[in-house]
Amino acid sequence: MKAKIRKLITFVEETRTEMNQTIDPPTRRAAAAAVIENPFAGRYVEDLTELMEIGEELGALLTERAVAALGVAGPAAESYGKAAAVGEDGELEHAAAVLHPKLGTPVRKVLGKGAALIPSSKKRGGLGVPLDIPLGHKDAAFVRSHFDGMEIRVGDAPRTNEILVAIAVTDSGRPLPRVGGLMKDQIKGEDGLR
């Protein structure tokens, strides 16, 4: 692997009740995160290819781990998202290099489809900085019941020369969706939007 990984973390959330209502089956989200060394920490480097290739590796690794944590087959995943936090000696563009050029293709390979844009966020921060990973339906971005987000944090990361990279997947939308909009059983899943 090109990525120098210090640690891997998996989070699984299972919501069984919300506002005293039983959620059956429970809604579930999983996030897999990697803490990697930032090869460009502390200096300005024009060509970010190495981080793009690291993104490709992590796209496969983290998606496989997240799906495995949910215990479902890849195509059963309903929504997804990605995010990265760069340690203080890096720049925001390092997160962009990991997340955007090459990470998506292996994610979609694991999940079977994924016509929709993978929602994302990025930031720079210190140890324990929280990451809010935005979530959207993987085949139709306008499915309102699946607009969501998942917060994760890793207490000892990112160090100044590290990047925390995370991918989240779910097998469901919000626990009690009732604000209307496009439903998942109405989607065509062709244009990635509806």
CB-based contact 96:83 (threshold 8 Å)? no
Q: Output 64 or 93, the one with its CB closest to another protein.
A: 93
Q: Which of 31, 39, 114, 147 binds another protein (CB under 8 A)?
A: 147
Closest to 32 (Cα-Cα) out of 59, 10, 57:
10
Q: What is the token pair recorded at 163?
A: 């990047």
Burial label, 152 (beta-carbon count in 10 A; 0-12, 13-18, 19+): buried
Shortest reach from residue 101's CB to another protein, in Å:
5
DSSP state of 145: G
Q: From the CB of residue 49, how many other CB atoms can be counted at a distance below 10 Å?
A: 11
Q: How far is the CB of 102 from another protein (least distance, A)?
A: 10
| Of 8, 60, 72, 176, the one binding another protein by CB under 8 A | 176
- Name the minimum Å distance from CB 73 to another protein: 26
Q: Binding mask 34-53 vs another protein (x if CB under 8 A, - otherwise)?
A: ---------xx-x-x---x-
Among 31-39, 72-80, 123-131, 159-167, the segment contacting another protein (CB under 8 A):
123-131
Choose one: 68-76, 89-97, 106-114, 159-167; the region binding another protein (CB under 8 A): 89-97
By CB under 8 A, tell whether 123 contacts another protein: yes
3-state SS of 91-113 is CHHHHHHHHCCCCHHHHHHHHCC
Which listed range, 6-14, 28-36, 67-75, 114-122, lies at the site for another protein (CB under 8 A)?
Answer: 114-122
Residue 101 makes contact with another protein by CB under 8 A: yes
Distance CA 63, CA 69 (A): 10
Print burial letters for 118-149: b (CB count within 10 Å at least 16), e (below 16).
bbbbbebbebebebebbbbbbbbbbbbbbbbb
Interface positions with another protein (CB under 8 A)? 18-21, 43-44, 46, 48, 52, 83, 91-93, 96-97, 99-101, 117, 119-123, 125, 130-135, 141-142, 144, 147-149, 151, 174-181, 191-193
